[in-house]
Chains A and B, each alone.
Chain A
Amino acid sequence: MNHAILILTLLIAPLLGFAFNGLRFRSHNAYLAGSVATAASFISFLCSLALFFQLKDLPPEARHLTSRFFDWIVVGDLRVPFGFTVDQISAIMILIITGVGSLIHLFSIGYMSHDERPSKYFAYLNLFLFNMLVLVLGDNLLITFVGWEGVGLCSYLLIGFWFSDPAKAAAGMKAFVTNRIGDAGFLIGMFILFFTYGTLTYSDLLQLIPQVVESTWTGPLTLAFLFLFIGATGKSAQIPLYVWLPDAMAGPTPVSALIHAATMVTAGVYLFVRLSPALIFAPHAMEVIAWTGAATALVAATIGITQWDIKKILAYSTVSQLGYMFLAVGVGAFGAAQFHLMTHAFFKALMFLGSGSVIHAMHEEQDVRKMGGLRKYLPITHFTFVLGWLAIIGIPPFAGFFSKDEILWQAFSSPHGSKALWFVGALTAACTAFYMTRLMALTFWGKSRFGKDVHPHESPPSMTIPLMVLGLLSVIGGWVGIPHVLGAVLPGHPSNLFEGWLKPVIGHVAHHEPNVIMEWALMGVSVSLAGLGAWFAYHNYLVQPNLPKAVAAKLGPVYRAVANKYYVDEFYDRFLINPLIATSKAIWLYIDVNVIDKVTYFAGDLVSGLASFAKTVQNGKTQSYALYMALGVAIIMTFVMWRG
């Protein structure tokens, strides 16, 4: 089939689903709405598959299918077609998006079956899908930006889906506004690129930049990437703009799975992987990205340790994992970043859906302190969750192991990497293992701590099937990217398929000769660190449940700081938001009302004052008037006689 039609179908299907559900938004029929939405999503998935296979049949260098539907903006030198490209990166992305998306849609049917307005929910979900596809398919930065903002918008709508709760509505707004801060950076980055290189189309940019970079100053390029990175920090929840993501958990859990774990938040990573052939010419930007990613990974992981809300833990985990991806981007391991993006999509979606299943079973209870021992009530959920857990903490041969290990190795060995980066990454891995194990321990294992009136039950098949599929993917998803060192010893010598697939479209930094022994060693270190973390958590929360409290008490202020998320929200409130509001009020009341208006009033008052004076002068006395005349004559005369 013609790829244009496929792309069109791919895009239109969710849009039609959105239209269908959007127009009957009052409907309460979750099954109809969900089926339609899922079908739409699934059609897209099929299209994605078709496109993927079409792409696969092409020679590696020619693997891009572009179709431009119409010229969107044509002004001056700016010519933005409404064009979409499927290439190696976007093919992976659309597969993830539509694949995981379809599963999550399916999961949602069960999850939202008791909601008041399921149609609206599915409409939003389809709309999100559309926007996300636009984002990854866009063949120029502006179309990407369309999707970029569009997904933010859907995220806003979905986070605030239960808008009656002011906190949830506020969370939606926070998400959108924080994203907007990033978007502003994105815009500026785009402007710089456009005015430096005269185009916004990826293919042109990536072709042009390596050519001109030798002869021109790369300052604008670095600056552009830094600004684009601001955009990415917003969208992908990196320091300093990560604060919205934990709050975004206010939305329905499948939304968290789809948007805030699997797809949307990885848009930043996608963008940098997409631009990686140019990024490698901006090493300073890469350094900033790497360190921001590493710092985010560690900070979020430590916060995750202290959280009690199951979704919040997962949210911080997401932030942390996204930090990994940016670490990868920063050290030039673009393939690894994209790889981790994919595996993370599998296991994090899985865990979010699993948590959704738990929450669903627990009647909207999210506090892990009130759970425990759910293993026996929710066997399927538990089982799949375990798979996800193993994947995220990086136990071989689960998916997360390969991708995370790749990142850590690159952080260590890449010319852009350093031991410090590796150390932070490894430390994060330990923390990850700790808090994920803690989550498992508190939720599924141990004794149940919930009340008598709660009767957890396993979710319906529409919810468990996605869990199982994702569980499977969490296990095998990583096998497409087996590192060379590992591949060398495995039977059949599987090569790194994933990297091979991406190779033509990502940037490459010059590598030293791989040090096989070192790689093995580090792999061992990271796995053992993960094991250590997991064991420690297991010990703390199951063997000696009182230990955490003692530790917390002992650490005192440090613990409180971590538990309160380092007071970042408070810091923003105190030093950013409140001053902004206070300033605005001050501006309004003092500048607008008291200065500008007063100035105009002053003009009025001046006239009014003059009017009083005129009235005083006009005192009604005939002889005063005569005096004015006489004085007037005298003055005129004096002047005329004197000057004339």
Chain B
Amino acid sequence: MEIQFGLIDFLLVAPAVALFVMSCVPLLIKVMRGNQEQNTMATLVYAYTGVFAAMGFCLPTIGATRTAFEGALVFDGVSAFATIVILFCTAVALTFARDSQSTNPKQFTETVFLMMNAAVGMLTMVWANDLIIVFVGLELFSLCLYMMIAMSLEEKVSKEAAFKYFILGSFASALMLYGISFIYGTVGSTYLPELLSSTQNLLATNRLFLLGFVLLIVGLLFKAAVFPFHAWAPDVYQGAPTPLTAFMATGVKAATLAFFLRLVASQAFTVERFWPFVDVMQWMIVLTILIGNVGAFRQRSLKRMLAYSSIAHSGYVMIGMIAAGIGGASMLGATGVMFYIVSYAIMTIGAFGVLHMLEPRPDSDLTVEDLRGLAARKPWLALALTVLLLSLTGIPPTVGFFGKFFLFSAAVKQGLIWLAVWGVIGSIISVYYYLRPVVAMYMEEPVIAPAQVNMRPLSYFAVSFLALLVLVFGIASEPLYQVVLASVAKVF
């Protein structure tokens, strides 16, 4: 058998390689130093080197559509875009991880190692052109996350969170895998292009394929935390160390949704036989939006609140997904989804970032009351959080507004107005809980013994940068939108 790939293929996967290699360096150093933690800053620098190198390697692939390893991996606009987003989230999450009390100082090296390899897994998933590789990538980052959560210095709930995530994640993986097996059995291959090309035909004729396809989507919906596969999210997000929550909420979703977009690009949703599922999915989206917003409504814990809100955001983004899937002006939906991925990533990771800076101990579970009077003590931090929360609410001129605008546009264009209306209702509910922290920060009297604010410069910089980004993209969203448009143009 002839080997049909060369150096170019390795260059294409160089981001993953860079990540892996640089993740090993601090670990090796630690091992060589007799299992002694070295300076966390140094570790972080290695990690940054890896991430930025990966970004650097990724940049040349933007704009081209290529496959590697005999078509097993695909590098197109979606994957390049998702790669950048994932790497960006990784870099920020690494920064937070170093500054957080629950991931630092013990075993920071391992955390970095796991996190970077989780990024490798995510990249694998977005590049994958074969269901097997998708699954491997998915499992890689899932396993990394399970372990990272369990490694938290927080005593009680992090283990619980890790275990819940693990059990439910494995359960979902098994279901997904079961679906893949049916797809494999009916298509006769796990190769994605082959699958996509025969999807329409098979969906219409083959029940087993239908079952498999649905199960595959269920697996993805689990990762994206869509009702009724959302139940893990609040518990896990709350129990996990905050930097990890940030990473999980953004990176995992970016990877999952990018792959989901590929599936959707097959026009599967246009098959008449599949319409019942599209109908059910719309109901699921509505319920996701509802349960996310309603669940967040009365949460005391900020992290849990943001967790529920991330469920709601999954609902919003799924509106775009449906719009992208049902044919017609699917570009709108796809761009909406992609834009939302990046806008959501920026604001969510920023919001979690601020939270982690406010956590003095690994086991602090920040409540709204803890934020009281923050504006007086740390005005810029409070301002950053406010901007991020307003963006999550979707108030102009923030990037969150345009994220929602594009999604709702797609929905309206595709005649899914009722989904847009539910999105609106959800947003209205969300105003209440997103603004409660703002209220606490600016309008309530400071607590008597205010919690220490963990003003590490790097995190501070990152958070400020993210808040600024929210505003910049909110005012100048066109360039970003053009990038998104270019990235999905080849896929749709």
Contacts and interface: CB of A to CB of B under 8 A. Distances in A.
Q: Are chains A and B native binding partners rather than an unrelated pairing?
A: yes
A624 B294 CA distance: 19
B422 interface: no
B215 interface: yes
B295 A628 contact: no
A632 B222 CA distance: 11
Given A610-B290, A640-B276, A620 B235 contact: yes
Most chain B CB within 10 A, of A617, A622, A624, A639, is at A622
A626 B229 CA distance: 8
Interface string B274-294: 111101100010000011011
B468 interface: no
Interface string A588-610: 00000000000000001001101
Contacts of A642: 276
Nearest to B277: A640
Contacts of B273: 644
Contacts of B275: 643-644
Contacts of A617: 231
Contacts of B57: none
Interface stretch (B5-13, B166-174, B181-189, B252-260): B166-174
A624 B234 CA distance: 14
Interface residues of B, number: 38
Given A607-B429, A620-B235, A640-B276, A633 B215 contact: yes
Interface residues of A, number: 30
A629 interface: yes
B297 interface: yes
A415 B337 CA distance: 87
A640 B280 CA distance: 8
Contact of A629 (B229, B284, B290): B229
Chain B interface, DSSP helix/strand/loop, else mixed: helix
Nearest to A619: B231
Nearest to B163: A622
B291 A614 contact: yes
A610 B295 CA distance: 8
Contact of A632 (B207, B228, B235, B274): B228
A625 interface: yes
B218 interface: yes
A549 interface: no
Contacts of B298: 608, 611-612, 615
Contact of A607 (B235, B276, B279, B294): B294
Interface in B139-183: 163-164, 167-168, 171-172, 175
A610 to B, nearest CB: 4
Contacts of A614: 291, 294-295
Given A611-B295, A637-B211, A632 B229 contact: yes
A639 B295 CA distance: 27
B297 A636 contact: no
Contact of A644 (B164, B210, B215, B429): B210
B434 interface: no
Contacts of A615: 295, 298
Interface in B218-248: 218, 222, 227-229, 231-232, 234-235
B214 interface: yes
A622 B167 contact: yes
Given A622-B167, A629-B228, A637 B214 contact: yes
A1 interface: no
A618 B214 contact: no
A517 interface: no
Given A607-B297, A610-B290, A611-B294, A626 B168 contact: yes
A641 interface: yes
A580 interface: no
A628 B175 contact: no
B216 to A, nearest CB: 12
B229 to A, nearest CB: 5
Nearest to B204: A644
A641 B210 CA distance: 9
Contact of A636 (B163, B214, B432): B214
Nearest to B304: A618
Contacts of B215: 633
B210 A633 contact: no
B207 A641 contact: yes
A561 interface: no
A622 B295 CA distance: 18
Nearest to B273: A644
Contacts of A643: 275-276, 279
Contacts of B291: 614
Contacts of B284: 632
B169 to A, nearest CB: 11
Contacts of A32: none
A631 B228 contact: yes
Given A629-B229, A636-B214, A644-B274, A622 B168 contact: yes
B222 A629 contact: yes
Contacts of B222: 629
Contacts of A607: 293-294, 297, 429, 432
A89 B340 CA distance: 78
A644 B175 contact: no
Interface in B26-81: none
Contacts of A604: 432
Interface string A122-138: 00000000000000000
B468 to A, nearest CB: 33
Most chain B CB within 10 A, of A617, A639, A640, A641, is at A640
A632 to B, nearest CB: 4
Given A611-B297, A625-B164, A629-B222, A618 B231 contact: yes
A640 B167 contact: no
A641 B277 CA distance: 9
Given A626-B167, A629-B222, A644-B274, A610 B175 contact: no
Contacts of B234: 618
B210 to A, nearest CB: 6
Given A607-B297, A614-B291, A625-B168, A640 B214 contact: yes
B231 A639 contact: no
A576 B235 CA distance: 62
B442 to A, nearest CB: 22
B228 A628 contact: yes
A625 B227 CA distance: 11
A374 B183 CA distance: 119
Contacts of B232: 625
A636 B280 contact: yes
A644 B269 CA distance: 12
Most chain A CB within 10 A, of B167, B214, B227, is at B214
B372 to A, nearest CB: 22
A618 B308 CA distance: 11
A644 B275 CA distance: 7
Contacts of B295: 611, 614-615, 618
A633 B218 CA distance: 7
A629 B218 CA distance: 9
A607 B293 CA distance: 9
17 contacts: A607-B432, A610-B297, A618-B234, A622-B163, A622-B164, A622-B167, A624-B231, A629-B168, A629-B222, A636-B214, A636-B218, A641-B210, A641-B211, A643-B276, A644-B207, A644-B210, A644-B276
Closest 6 A-B residue pairs measured CB to CB?
A632-B228, A643-B276, A625-B231, A611-B297, A614-B295, A610-B294
Interface of A: 604, 607-608, 610-615, 617-618, 620, 622, 624-626, 628-629, 631-633, 635-637, 639-644
Given A622-B164, A635-B280, A636-B214, 15 more contacts: A607-B294, A607-B297, A614-B291, A625-B164, A628-B229, A629-B229, A632-B227, A636-B218, A640-B210, A640-B276, A640-B277, A641-B210, A644-B207, A644-B273, A644-B275
